[in-house]
Amino acid sequence: MNTINPRAGQLAAASDLVDIPKLITAYFSEQPDPGVPEQRVAFGTSGHRGSSFDRSFNEWHIVAITQAICLYRRQQKVDGPLFLGIDTHALSRPALASAMEVLAANNVDVMLAERTDYTPTPAVSHAILTYNRGRKAGLADGIVVTPSHNPPESGGFKYNPTHGGPAGGEITSWVQAKANEFLAAKLEGVKRVSLAKALAASTTHKHDYLTAYVEDLGNIIDMEAIRASGIRFGINPLGGAGVHYWEPIAERYGLQLELVNDLVDPTFRFMTLDWDGRIRMDPSSKYAMQSLIALKDKFDVAMACDTDHDRHGIVTRSGGLMPANHYLATCIYYLFGHRAQWGSQVAVGKTVVSSSMIDRVTAGLGRELFEVPVGFKYFVDGLIDGKLGFVGEESAGSAFLRRDGTVWTTDKDGLIAALLAAEITATMKKDPGEVYRELTQKYGDPQYDRTDAHATTEQKTVLAKLSKESIQSPSLAGEKIQSILTHAPGDGQAIGGVKVIAESGWFAARPSGTEEIYKIYAESFRGQEHLKQIEAEAETIVGQALTAAMV
Give me the active site residues, please.
148
Q: What are phi and psi of 368, to 5 degrees?
A: -80, 145
- Enumerate the β-bridge partners of residue 501: 483, 506
Closest CA to 446 of 509, 356, 329: 356
The 8-class DSSP code of residue 275 comes to T
Alpha helices by DSSP H, 339-429: 357-364, 380-385, 414-428
The alpha carbon torsion through 405, 406, 412, 415 (nearest 10 deg) reads -70
The angle subtended at Cα 15 by Cα 12 and Cα 19, nearest 5°, is 100
Q: Cβ neighbours of residue 244 under 8 Å, at least 6 residues apart?
A: 115, 116, 118, 210
Q: Are 52 and 30 in contact (CB under 8 A)?
A: yes
Identify the DSSP state of 36.
S
- Which distant-in-sequence residues (6+ apart) come within 8 Å of 375 by Cβ? 45, 46, 166, 351
Concatenated DSSP letters for 152-194?
A: TTEEEEEEE-TTSSPPPHHHHHHHHHHHHHHHHTTTTT-----
221, 399 in Cβ contact below 8 A?
A: no
